Amino acid sequence: AQSVTQPDIHITVSEGASLELRCNYSYGATPYLFWYVQSPGQGLQLLLKYFSGDTLVQGIKGFEAEFKRSQSSFNLRKPSVHWSDAAEYFCAVGARGRRALTFGSGTRLQVQP
Amino acid sequence: DSGVTQTPKHLITATGQRVTLRCSPRSGDLSVYWYQQSLDQGLQFLIQYYNGEERAKGNILERFSAQQFPDLHSELNLSSLELGDSALYFCASSVTSGAETQYFGPGTRLLVL
């Protein structure tokens, strides 16, 4: 069965600092990987996705993520965090032939001025 | 704005009642997925429809049912409601039936009193 682990429940960073949110997945085949962001009271917005090819993927709002098969990881990064990035971030895994996405428990990001 | 719409935004009801949540997918998308987000269970896949047919089932209770209509909008019916059904219910849509990118609506927040 697929599973996704986001080890950090809550992270606080200062505005302008760099950010890395961790995501580890468990799946036997090649996964499809996603990062979504949920602002308070809002739905889930897709930040970026990885299906195949270049393991470093660029997303919206200046985010990027790197797929590392050997570590079963898909960490999300941003070089300089803005106050508007405060939100909850979800990593999700899917796979060819499977309909549903499996989500991690989320990481809540707080940005200090 | 993902292009997925959900109504109503908020719903307050009593235990034992029945409610219907509505979702309209993005233009051109044939698949609709329903997810439940609760504090204790996180984001859980409930059910998927593709072009009017049920394609996958997740952790959906027997008291819950869904359908997709010829115009591709979908409804999630929740009956005999319990306090524990209080959650945020998301609809997502995608072009085909596989695990490619799913776009999420803003959600319906259900409160059962």
Concatenating the DSSP letter of every residue in B25-39 gives: PPTT--EEEEEEEET
Give contacts of B94 with chain A, Cβ < 8 Å.
none
What confidence score (pLDDT) does residue A11 get?
Answer: 97
User: In whole angstroms, how far apart are CA B12 and each of A41, B20, B26?
Assistant: 16, 12, 27
Residues A100, B56: C-beta atoms closer than 8 Å: yes
Tell me, yes or no, if B89 comes closer than 8 A to chain A by beta carbon: no
pLDDT tens digits for A3-29?
Answer: 999 999 999 999 999 999 999 999 877
Min distance A18 CA to chain B CA atoms (Å): 27
Residues B101, A43: C-beta atoms closer than 8 Å: no
Tokens coding B38 = 């609760």
B20 pLDDT higher than 70: yes
- What's the average model confidence in pLDDT over B24-33? 95
Residue with tokens 């308070």: A40
C-alpha A50/C-alpha A56 separation (Å) is 8
Helix (H, G, I), strand (E, B) or coil at A51: coil
A97 pLDDT higher than 90: no
Neighbours of B98 (CB within 10 A): 16
Residues A106, B42: C-beta atoms closer than 8 Å: yes
C-alpha B30/C-alpha B35 separation (Å) is 17
The residues, any chain, with a CB within 8 Å of residue B56's CB and separated by 6 or more, are A98, A99, A100, B45, B47, B48
C-alpha A75/C-alpha B23 separation (Å) is 32
Q: Average pLDDT, whole number, for chain B?
A: 94
Residue A30 near residue A82, CB atoms below 8 Å: no
Min distance A76 CA to chain B CA atoms (Å): 18
- What's the average model confidence in pLDDT over B30-54? 93
- The model's confidence at residue B99, banded by pLDDT at 50, 70 and 90, is low
Higher pLDDT, A94 or A22: A22
A34 pLDDT higher than 80: yes
Tokens coding A79 = 């070089």
Tokens coding A58 = 């660029």
B84 pLDDT higher than 70: yes
B106 pLDDT higher than 80: yes
B109 pLDDT higher than 90: yes
% of chain B residues with pLDDT over 90: 88
Bridge partners, B15 (sequence order): none
Pairing of strands B10-13, B108-112: parallel
Task: Give the closest of B33, B103, B106 to A100, CB-based.
Answer: B33
A37 pLDDT higher than 80: yes
What confidence score (pLDDT) does residue B100 get?
Answer: 77
> What backbone phi and psi angles, to 5 degrees, belong to A52?
-170, 175
Residue with tokens 């200090």: A112
pLDDT tens digits for A66-81?
Answer: 999 999 999 999 999 9
> What backbone phi and psi angles, to 5 degrees, belong to A42?
-115, 170
Give contacts of A32 with chain B, Cβ < 8 Å.
99-100
Residues B2, A45: C-beta atoms closer than 8 Å: yes
What confidence score (pLDDT) does residue A18 get?
Answer: 97
Give contacts of A90 with chain B, Cβ < 8 Å.
43
